[in-house]
Amino acid sequence: MESSQQFISRKNQEYTKKKPIKMKDISRKGKHIFEREAWTFMTQHNLEEKVFVIERLRRIGIEGENTHKYLKAGDVEYRIGYYMIGKNGKVKGKWTWGQYCPMIPQEDFKKLIDKAIKDKVIS
């Protein structure tokens, strides 16, 4: 199985490819298109099977309808997420995007924010 450090190395290479990220608008009638400008990864201190990520995303476009009219190309937003090794079904034993809001131990929160500042994800 791929270690967290191997996973982070693989994802860093993948993220460098600058593939646009599409996210559904809340109306489901449109999509927001982002470019990932910067990111940082960190393994949870007491769970090697969980890796946090903070990404700086720049909106590069909107397709279809946009529920919130004040959103526009050029806006910067941050996404905090995590990956875990799946335990069920087709993702069992594979790194997969966390499907819920991330929970982060107190000991890791400041470390993750500090790392994001050091890595120039957050300015």
- pLDDT tens figures, 76-116: 999 999 999 999 999 999 999 998 999 999 999 999 999 99
**pLDDT tens-digit profile of 51-84?**
999 999 999 999 999 899 899 999 999 999 999 9
Residue 3, amino acid: S
Antiparallel, parallel or unpaired: β 47-64 and 30-44: antiparallel
pTM of the model: 0.92
95 domain residue, yes or no: yes
**pLDDT tens-digit profile of 2-16?**
999 999 999 999 999
Antiparallel, parallel or unpaired: β 30-44 and 76-85: unpaired
Q: How far lies 61's CA from each of 20, 39, 102, in Å?
A: 10, 20, 27
Work out the number of other CB atoms within 10 angstroms of the CB of residue 88.
6
Count how many domains the chain has.
1
73 domain residue, yes or no: yes
- Structure token digits, residue 32: 């927001």
123 domain residue, yes or no: no
Q: Any idea which residue has 């460098």 for tokens?
A: 16
What domain range is 47 assigned to?
4-118
Confidence at residue 123, expressed as pLDDT on a 0 to 100 scale: 84
101 domain residue, yes or no: yes
18 domain residue, yes or no: yes
- Asked if residue 1 has pLDDT above 90, the reply is no
**pLDDT tens-digit profile of 28-39?**
999 999 999 999
User: CA nearest 122: which of 46, 51, 65, 55?
Assistant: 55
Confidence at residue 59, expressed as pLDDT on a 0 to 100 scale: 97
